[in-house]
Each structure stands twice: as structure tokens, then as C-alpha cells.
Amino acid sequence: MGADYASAVSYTRTGSGDDLPDWVGREFVIHAPFPVESSRIADFCAMLEDPNPLYWDIEAATQKFGRPIAPPATLTAWRWPAPWNPYGRPEHGFPATVEVPCPTDTLVNVEFACEYLQQIGVGDKLTYVDRIAAISDEKMTALGRGYFVTADTVVTNQENQEVARYRNVMLRYKSGTGKAADSQKVQQPAPEKVPTDSERPIPALSIPVTWTLCTQLTAATRDYFPGHHDPDYARSQGVLNPYPNTGYYCGLMDRVALEWANFDGVLKRRVLRMFTPAPIGTTLRTSGRVLSRQTVEGTEHVELQIEVRNEEALIAQARITLKMGA
């Protein structure tokens, strides 16, 4: 008992750091252990309280896309292995950014940029090819001294069709070495005024971060990284309590964007930046604005900026491009 195949910690390598340049360009191939399936989609949407009818109504999704579809933010959830299986720990599973042997002891995602080329549907069996794109020199950050590791990933389906690609930037750092006394002092971008114009407002959601939410996100995203459920581990990172993960913020940003569009659009691109964790006991609030509108090949594309804040700080910010009426 006690296997932990669904946590990034189980795949994290450490080392002296002397050979880090040799890791740039290395590739890892991960085959999703299970096909995309409807019950996990329901768990994910329930976690977000996402009312998008295309995720709940099979007939509506089939009429529009030819089959039931998965939310774009579940893109990475299908690659994570089960916490245990009788064959042992997979060779790879979590992002290649955790496998680079940095002289550090913990990690946090800082940027996650996705481009969606086609809908992911129920029954798809996905393959992920990760490539280490860059490793920074050692940096002193508010969280700690460490390295920014960047990986590019191409995702294909069982027909070898490319369905998405994404870039993940992860900070691998040494806990207890940061410039800030706590995680809320991470440098924040200046707040932007949301213009008051004829645009319909971005949905303003208020979401308490609770133990229940963190339990749901572990089940829905199969991300067992201890920072999302273990208070002692979260505190070792300088965070008061466990906190939501990257997949949660991707889903929340997408929910806000598509709800703003009255669910009449397709998400084409999301660039998510994360500034500081939001621990259990705080409340998330969403806001945003329309950045631009343009017509591409006769179809309107809208770019939105969405922000998530709690009582203390800006937690995450995303730029999302929607193809309207698609």
C-alpha cells in the first residue's frame, strides 16, 4: 500500500545541476492510460459548476460536433496515470519539466499556454510528446532560488491527428530560500481598469476555496501533487493551506469566457499566467474585459483578458481567444 503514481513528486528528479544544458531538446512520449470518458468530464464540470450545455447534453454536443466533447481544460488530465496499477509506476507521466534533475526540492507552474486545433471527444486516446525547450540559469525569485524549465508538448489522437499543443513553464525551486516572507508577496502586475462600454460584462463569479473544492479537483483532474491536498506540504512551500491546481484555473477561465459568449463559441487559445497560490479559506473572484475583435476568414474572433483574485492578490490571469459562432 502507499503507491503514488499520480503525483508529480513521484517523477521529480534532482541532481547537482551540472548537466542541465544537456537536457534541452530531450523528448518524452506519454500515451494516455485511458480514453477520454464521460464520467471524468462530468466530475470536471461539477468541480467548476460549469453549466455549458455542450458538456452535459449529449444530443446537443453530437448535433454540433458529431459526438460528445470534453472541455478544453481537461487536455492534460487524460495523461495522468492512476494512483496505483498492478504493473508498477509508468516510466513517464507528468510533464517533462519535473524530470529535469534540478538541485531543488519543490515546484510550481507559472505559465501554461495552449492552442486548440480540434475538439477532443469521448473515446479519444491521446498521445503527448514533450520536448524540453529551455532551462534558465539559476534565478532568485520571491518563492525561492531555482530554475525556470520550459517544455513544449504536441498532443495527437488515435488517428495521429494533432489536436492541441501547449507550452508549460515551471519554476523548480528550493523551499525556504525566497525573497518574500510569504507567497502573497510575489510581485504583482499593476491592476488594469476595466473599461465601461457597450460590451456585455465578463461574468463576475465568487468562489470560496474549500477543502471540498480541493478534494473535487484531485478527483476530477487526477492530480495528486501534495500541494493541492496536504497542508504540511503546502506550508513547506510557504502557502498557508492547500490550493487549486493549474487545471482548475484553466477550467475556470474557460468557463468565464464561454459563459460570456453565451456558449456560442469555441476556445482556440489560452495563455495562463499564475502569480501566487490561493489557499483554502480564501475566496476567488473573476473579472475581465474584451481586448480585441477581428474577423478571420469571415468568422469573428474575440480576445478576452480574465483575472482571478482573492482578498490579497492577483492569483491568475489569462488571455483567451474565442472563435465565435463555431
User: Does pLDDT of 38 surpass 60?
Assistant: yes
What band does 178 get if pLDDT is binned at 50, 70 and 90?
A: confident
What band does 196 get if pLDDT is binned at 50, 70 and 90?
A: very low
CA distance 45 to 121: 15
What band does 181 get if pLDDT is binned at 50, 70 and 90?
A: very low
If you average pLDDT over every residue of the chain, what do you get?
93
What pLDDT, on the 0 to 100 scale, is given for residue 183? 43
Separation in Å, CA 250 to CA 122, 125, 221, 245: 20, 21, 11, 9
pTM (whole model) above 0.75: yes
- Please give the tally of structural domains in the chain: 1
pLDDT, tens digit, 9 for 90 and up, residues 135-170: 999 999 988 999 999 999 999 999 999 999 999 999
CA distance 234 to 282: 15
User: Does pLDDT of 179 surpass 80?
Assistant: no
Contacts of 51 (CB under 8 A, 6+ apart): 259
Partners of residue 270 on adjacent β-strands: 114, 320
H or E element: which one contains 174? strand 162-174
Asked if the structure places residue 272 within a domain, the reply is yes
User: Does pLDDT of 302 surpass 60?
Assistant: yes
DSSP per residue, 201-224: PPP--EEE--HHHHHHHHHHH---
CA distance 103 to 175: 11
CA distance 106 to 236: 9
What pLDDT, on the 0 to 100 scale, is given for residue 219? 86
pLDDT, average across residues 270-284: 98
Question: CATH number for the domain including 250?
Answer: 3.10.129.10
Q: What does R_g of the chain's alpha carbons equal in angstroms?
A: 19
Asked if the structure places residue 49 within a domain, the reply is yes
Asked if the structure places residue 2 within a domain, the reply is no
Percent share of the chain, pLDDT over 70: 94
CA distance 73 to 206: 20
Asked if the structure places residue 133 within a domain, the reply is yes
Higher-confidence residue: 143 or 122?
Answer: 122
Higher-confidence residue: 183 or 243?
Answer: 243
Percent share of the chain, pLDDT over 90: 84
What band does 180 get if pLDDT is binned at 50, 70 and 90?
A: low
pLDDT, tens digit, 9 for 90 and up, residues 103-112: 999 999 999 9
What pLDDT, on the 0 to 100 scale, is given for residue 191? 54
What pLDDT, on the 0 to 100 scale, is given for residue 182? 46
In this structure, what C-alpha cell is assigned to residue 154? 504536441
Asked if the structure places residue 251 within a domain, the reply is yes
Asked if the structure places residue 210 within a domain, the reply is yes
Asked if the structure places residue 61 within a domain, the reply is yes
User: Does pLDDT of 187 surpass 90?
Assistant: no
Asked if the structure places residue 1 within a domain, the reply is no
* Residue bearing cell 525573497: 179
Domain span at 16: 8-324
User: Does pLDDT of 214 surpass 90?
Assistant: yes
What band does 6 get if pLDDT is binned at 50, 70 and 90?
A: confident
